[in-house]
């Protein structure tokens, strides 16, 4: 019986994937019931999966299992220290559940503010240490002749590449400093004319960057579309 069910699992999964793909692709003709149904199914499945993963990997393995292990081992000192660290997190988590009801939502605002602050601080620290500082270091070494000789690159190409990147960085920064901030009407802009030209050059670099990013997103979406069409074709051939 189990073997028969396992044999039927693959064709049933192919049929479900085929139908869901058709439902999503039906958005080409406009918003319709099939597309909305597919979106609701996706959101429901994703939410259920996230809830199960949180219950299994966080609450069970990171909260309950360590307590049970320390309790069975008889290590009361480590158990008390662990409870002291975990209890505030559990209280904050239960406190956060007050956001479920509109009547008690305001009571969960302090926890949400604390969570937002911690998340923002983590993101800012990660951006500064993981992006800004490495970018500054890379920009400093753009015209470092010793690093180019150590890598064995062509000095002419290395110099042109570093010079273009350096000009792009400076022009982009000048654009954000002098190009976005427009003076009020009737007030003359007291700044050198050269800054306007450099600001325009920085705007050009930004446009090229955004164009490249959009092209990458478009190619990724096109590749996904080709993959889905290929999947539909393979399913049809498999049943034929």
Does 1 fall in a domain?
no
What average pLDDT values come out for the chain (240 residues) when binned by 10 residues?
A: 65 83 86 90 92 86 76 66 75 82 84 88 87 79 70 72 84 74 58 76 90 93 88 82
Does 173 fall in a domain?
yes
Residue 46 pLDDT: 93
Residue 153 pLDDT: 66
Does 183 fall in a domain?
yes
CB atoms within 10 A of CB 198: 20
For the chain, what is the domain count?
1
Does 111 fall in a domain?
no
**Structural domain boundaries, residue 210:** 153-233
Does 158 fall in a domain?
yes
Does 224 fall in a domain?
yes
Residue 79 pLDDT: 66
Does 218 fall in a domain?
yes
- Answer whether 0.85 is exceeded by the pTM: no
The answer to whether the beta carbons of residues 199 and 179 sit under 8 Å apart is yes
Residue 201 pLDDT: 87
Residue 208 pLDDT: 92
Does 123 fall in a domain?
no
Residue with tokens 């270091």: 137
């Amino acid at each position: 019986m189990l073997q028969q069910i396992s044999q039927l699992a693959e064709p049933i999964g192919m049929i479900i994937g085929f139908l869901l793909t058709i439902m999503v692709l039906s958005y080409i003709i406009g918003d319709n019931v099939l597309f909305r149904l597919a979106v609701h199914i996706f959101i429901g499945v994703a939410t259920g999966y996230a809830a199960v993963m949180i219950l299994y990997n966080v609450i069970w393995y990171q909260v309950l299992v360590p307590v049970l292990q320390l309790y069975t081992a008889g290590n009361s000192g480590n158990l008390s220290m662990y409870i002291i660290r975990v209890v505030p997190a559990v209280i904050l988590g239960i406190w956060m559940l007050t956001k479920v009801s509109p009547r008690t939502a305001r009571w969960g605002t302090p926890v949400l503010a604390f969570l937002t602050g911690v998340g923002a601080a983590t993101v800012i620290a990660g951006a500064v240490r993981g992006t800004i500082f490495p970018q500054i270091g890379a920009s400093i070494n753009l015209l470092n002749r010793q690093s180019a000789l150590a890598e064995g690159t062509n000095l002419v190409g290395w110099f042109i590449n570093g010079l273009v990147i350096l000009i792009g960085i400076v022009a982009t920064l000048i654009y954000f400093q002098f190009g976005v901030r427009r003076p009020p009407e009737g007030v003359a802009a007291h700044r050198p004319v050269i800054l306007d030209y450099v600001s325009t050059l920085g705007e050009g670099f930004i446009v090229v960057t955004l164009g490249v990013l959009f092209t990458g997103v478009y190619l990724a979406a096109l590749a996904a579309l080709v993959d889905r069409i290929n999947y539909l074709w393979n399913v049809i051939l498999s049943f034929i």
